[in-house]
């Protein structure tokens, strides 16, 4: 779904969800549980058995089915909690929801807070699958609150990790990373390998959303290695699916196909054959993006024959529409895109996101295929405007959140150190004769902890710097992006009266760029844009601002440059384009020219928007004058 211009980051890499296929099981006569049996159900060993072999554990639970009565409510609830846990890992989501429905009316102030914490956690997973992310966040927060009351760190951290993941599903990546970092610090402090693996898995998903594919694969692989050591079958399958999806988004389609097929084998632990929806989904999407529409449509139809999630189906319909356009089956393409739009209409939290906006882009391609070029142009123009605005809206608070995350992390470190000092004090009071020995152990421990924390802080700080850079730089050309160019232009215009100099803006647009894409393909078009960016940057001074402000349109901001100098720079760049040897994959020369608009101002109160509008007007005049020329429209 996402290309180098920044088109949407797809979010379907983690925690694959499908509805249940009913499982037939013979249940033995009900046996009342003793307190000893209840203790076993609530123990970590019971959870470990479910993680290692959920189907075997589920069958064992069914043979011990408990009938509810007033004397053993907690016994019954613990049995339901473990049953729901196994059903969740087996993808028996209909039975999972039915089990949660049995728990809900029995919750009260007298019920164990640990049971409440687990119920809210699983209920959060259920509504998260339905796309109700706001309600899911509230349930995970309730789970954290109940878990904190009984000191259950595992449930607390697991709920916080799922809370962070839920934020990422709604494009709130900064909030997600902040919560996830807090969960990581806490999981690391208690040395829980399972929790660290689930957090690494979520990091893999989020970095995938941010186009950091290499980093995403590293985190998924860490999670997979841990799950394989623990032999947690369901989690192994999920991590493999995450690796497959990341390879797909990175456009390494052959590796993606290998991992999706490996995922098909990994889910054999569950008797639910409907789980094959996700392998069919992944293979259908991968073949479609690879350009193999025949195989793509085969797997997409296989996925539709099974029962999947609505938002996954919406993505399949989009790929199906694109394939039908490629194959010239335009009526089928129309039906597919309508189906995708209908699904998004039922999911208000996704309206206006990159995934929903992509429908508009496909409609533009469909209009072009039908020969309605004016409608195609208008539709695609509206799509890119809406998508650009969505990117701006999502990134406005990013820098502040990154700065705040360091302070939050410092507070977590201080709290961890405080707990360790208190523990040292308590140990010294209980056994004074070993005080010297204990103090030496504590000092070594604190130094080790501090070193680890410094490493974690340094690692996260570098990540934050990289994330900040993403808000300034165009990912394809490496030039500054539109937002940064206009911010710097505003700042320079405020200084114009102080410097008592002129300021010149050069706006240029590649001539007939669409024809280059159509004739040579989009990868060659991207290559041309990268070479153009380098030529423009090399033609300017170190202090000048050179940026890509959209599509094939670029801007140069030249401080302390009058109109005559600005015109010379524009002519120099234009001539460099005209003389450069742009070539396609077959080393055939591609003729590339550009039209330029120049605007100079010495007025101290000039607005950036006015200066840009003047330059744009001059650029338009250059286009009308036959292209490959420079026009001026300066402010006197």
Strands 630-632 and 594-601: parallel
Shortest CA distance to 289 belongs to which of 330, 244, 331, 334? 244
322 within 8 A of 288, measured Cβ to Cβ = yes
The Cα 537–Cα 624 span in angstroms is 26
What is the full DSSP assignment across 297-316? HHHHHHHHHS---HHHHHHH
Strand partners, 509: 553, 595
Residues 6+ apart with CB under 8 A from 112: 74, 77, 150
Return the DSSP state at 194: H
Catalytic residue among 87, 201, 238, 552: 552
Nearest CA-CA partner of 149 in 186, 180, 179, 112: 112
Query: Can you read off the two tokens belonging to residue 62?
Result: 């069914």
Provide the token pair at 164.
């962070």
Cβ atoms of 572 and 553 within 8 Å: the answer is no
The burial of 258, by beta-carbon neighbours within 10 Å (0-12 exposed, 13-18 middle, 19 or more buried), is given as middle
CA distance 347 to 440: 58
- Answer for the pair 245, 13: CB distance below 8 angstroms, yes or no: yes
Asked about 552 being catalytic, the answer comes back as yes
CB-CB contact of 266 with 254 (8 Å): no
> Could you tell me how many residues make up the chain?
636
For the chain, counts of helices (H) and of strands (E): 26, 7
Torsion of CA 312, 19, 282, 140, to 10 degrees: 70
DSSP per-residue letters across 405-473 = HHHHHHHHHHHHHHHHHHHHHHHHHH-GGGHHHHHHHHHHHHHHHHHHHHHHHHHHHHHHHHHHHHTTB
The DSSP secondary-structure symbol of 353 reads S
Sheet holding 553-559, edge to edge: 545-550, 553-559, 503-510, 594-601, 630-632
SS (H, E, C) 203-263: HHHHHHHCCCHHHHHHHHHHHHHHHHHHCCHHHHHHHHHHHHHHHHHCCCHHHHHHHHHHH
Residue 472 burial by Cβ neighbours in a 10 Å radius (0-12, 13-18, 19+): middle
Q: Under a CB-based contact definition with an 8 Å cutoff, are residues 307 and 280 in contact?
A: no
> Alpha-carbon distance 43 to 152, whole Å?
12
Q: Identify which of 180, 128, 133 has the alpha carbon closest to the alpha carbon of residue 158.
A: 180
Phi, psi at residue 76, to the nearest 5°? Answer: -65, -40
Euclidean distance between CA atoms 489 and 279, whole angstroms? 49
Q: Name the region of 43 (left: φ>0; alpha: ψ -120 to 50; beta: rest).
A: beta
Catalytic sites, residue numbers = 552
């Amino acid at each position: 779904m996402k290309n180098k211009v920044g088109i949407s980051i797809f979010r379907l890499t983690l925690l694959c969800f499908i509805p249940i296929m009913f499982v037939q099981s013979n249940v033995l006569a009900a046996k009342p549980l003793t307190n000893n049996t209840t203790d076993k159900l609530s123990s970590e060993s019971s959870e470990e058995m479910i993680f290692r072999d959920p189907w075997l554990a589920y069958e064992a639970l069914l043979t011990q089915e408990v009938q509810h009565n007033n004397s053993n409510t907690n016994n019954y609830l613990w049995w339901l909690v473990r049953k729901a846990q196994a059903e969740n890992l087996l993808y028996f989501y209909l039975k999972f929801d039915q089990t949660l429905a049995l728990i809900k009316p029995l919750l009260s102030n007298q019920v164990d807070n640990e049971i409440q914490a687990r119920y809210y956690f699983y209920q959060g997973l259920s509504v998260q699958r339905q796309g109700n992310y706001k309600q899911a966040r509230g349930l995970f927060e309730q789970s954290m609150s109940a878990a904190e009351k009984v000191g259950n760190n595992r449930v607390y951290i697991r709920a916080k990790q799922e809370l962070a993941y839920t934020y990422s599903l709604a494009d709130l990546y900064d909030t997600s990373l902040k919560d996830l970092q807090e969960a990581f610090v806490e999981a690391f402090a208690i040395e829980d390998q399972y929790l660290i693996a689930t957090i690494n898995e979520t990091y893999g998903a989020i970095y995938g959303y941010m186009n950091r594919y290499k980093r995403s694969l590293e985190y998924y692989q860490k999670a997979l290695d841990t799950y394989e050591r623990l032999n947690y079958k369901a989690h192994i399958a999920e991590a493999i699916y995450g690796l497959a999806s990341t390879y797909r988004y990175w456009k390494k389609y052959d590796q993606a196909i290998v991992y999706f097929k490996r995922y098909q084998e990994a889910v054999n632990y569950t008797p639910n054959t409907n789980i094959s929806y996700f392998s069919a989904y992944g293979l259908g999407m991968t073949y479609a993006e690879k350009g193999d529409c025949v195989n793509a449509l085969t797997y997409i139809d296989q996925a539709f024959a099974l029962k999947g999630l609505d938002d996954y189906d919406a993505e399949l319909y989009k790929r199906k529409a694109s394939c039908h356009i490629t194959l010239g089956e335009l009526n089928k393409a129309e039906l597919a895109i309508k189906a995708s739009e209908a699904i998004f209409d039922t999911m208000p939290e996704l309206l206006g996101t990159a995934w929903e906006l992509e429908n508009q882009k496909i409609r533009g391609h469909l209009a072009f295929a039908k020969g309605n070029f004016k409608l195609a142009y208008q539709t695609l123009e509206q799509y890119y405007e809406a998508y650009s605005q969505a990117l701006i809206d999502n990134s406005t608070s990013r820098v502040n959140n990154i700065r705040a995350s360091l302070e939050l992390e410092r507070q977590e470190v201080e709290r961890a150190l405080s707990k360790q000092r208190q523990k040292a004090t308590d140990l010294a009071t209980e056994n004074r004769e070993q005080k010297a020995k204990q103090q030496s152990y504590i000092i070594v421990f604190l130094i080790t902890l501090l070193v680890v924390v410094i490493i974690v802080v340094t690692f996260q700080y570098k990540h934050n710097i990289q994330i900040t850079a993403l808000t300034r730089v165009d990912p394809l050309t490496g030039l500054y992006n539109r937002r940064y160019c206009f911010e710097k232009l505003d700042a320079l215009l405020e200084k114009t009266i102080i410097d008592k100099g002129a300021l010149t803006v050069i706006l240029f647009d590649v001539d007939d760029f669409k024809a280059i894409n159509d004739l040579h393909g989009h990868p060659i078009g991207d290559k041309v844009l990268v070479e153009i960016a380098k030529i423009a940057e090399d033609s300017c001074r170190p202090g000048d601002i050179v940026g890509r402000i959209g599509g094939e349109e670029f801007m140069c901001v030249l401080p302390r440059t009058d109109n005559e100098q600005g015109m010379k720079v524009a002519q120099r760049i234009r001539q460099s384009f005209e003389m450069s040897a742009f070539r396609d994959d077959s080393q055939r020369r591609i003729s590339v020219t550009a039209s330029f608009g120049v605007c100079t101002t010495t007025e101290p109160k000039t607005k950036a928007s006015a200066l840009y509008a003047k330059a744009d007007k001059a650029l338009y005049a250059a286009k009308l004058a036959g292209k490959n020329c420079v026009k001026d429209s300066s402010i006197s």
